[in-house]
Amino acid sequence: MDTTPNLEFAFEVRAQVGPPMDLGTHRRVPIIGGTFEGPRLRGQVLPGGSDRQVTRADGAVELKARYTLETDHGEQISVVNRGIRVASPEVIEKLKAGIPVDPALVYCRTTPLFITAAPALQWLTSSVFVGSADRYPSEVVIRFWRFK
């Protein structure tokens, strides 16, 4: 029996972010809006979320974002998205300064948890997902895939 993981694209989030609050090894990045779209859903990122980041001694950054999505049908999805970002110190400094970098220079992967009461979206709560994120000066683009 072949147990190779099989992934299907679920959706892409384009989260608009505000200026980060820098607390040394800790940062808080506000999520101020955005959009999301995929084959089975689309809508907006509601303002009020944030990404809390901790820089480890080895330079890797642990991410924990919490935010809410609202579909075009008014259904809400709470997202808790944990991840890790690894790049050279020079690239990390550029990201912190808001300077665009080639996404290929940054490893940023996530494991989201979706919570919703919407009956039509229960596939989000009963599946395992992985994400891949690209950071730009004013937005984060995250693509999510569902393990089939």
One CATH from 3.20.20.140, 3.40.50.11610, 1.20.1340.10, 2.40.160.20 for 7-147: 2.40.160.20
Mean pLDDT of 42-51: 98
Q: Are 28 and 55 in contact (CB under 8 A)?
A: no
Residue-wise pLDDT for 119-139, tens only, equals: 999 999 999 999 999 999 899
Mean pLDDT of 44-51: 98
Q: Are 65 and 31 in contact (CB under 8 A)?
A: yes
Q: Are 77 and 121 in contact (CB under 8 A)?
A: yes
Residue-wise pLDDT for 73-118, tens only, equals: 999 999 999 999 999 999 988 988 888 899 999 999 999 999 999 9
- Alpha-carbon gap, residue 94 to 73, rounded angstroms: 39
User: Residue 31: pLDDT above 80?
Assistant: yes
Q: How far apart are the first and last CA of the chain?
A: 15
**pLDDT at residue number 133:** 96
Q: Are 101 and 91 in contact (CB under 8 A)?
A: yes
φ and ψ at 96, to 5 degrees? Answer: -60, -35
The rounded mean pLDDT for the chain is 95
Total Cβ atoms within 10 A of residue 116: 19
Residues near 62 by Cβ (< 8 Å), separated by ≥ 6? Answer: 53, 54, 56, 82, 83, 84
Q: What percent of the chain has pLDDT over 90?
A: 86
User: Residue 1: pLDDT above 80?
Assistant: no
**pLDDT at residue number 72:** 98
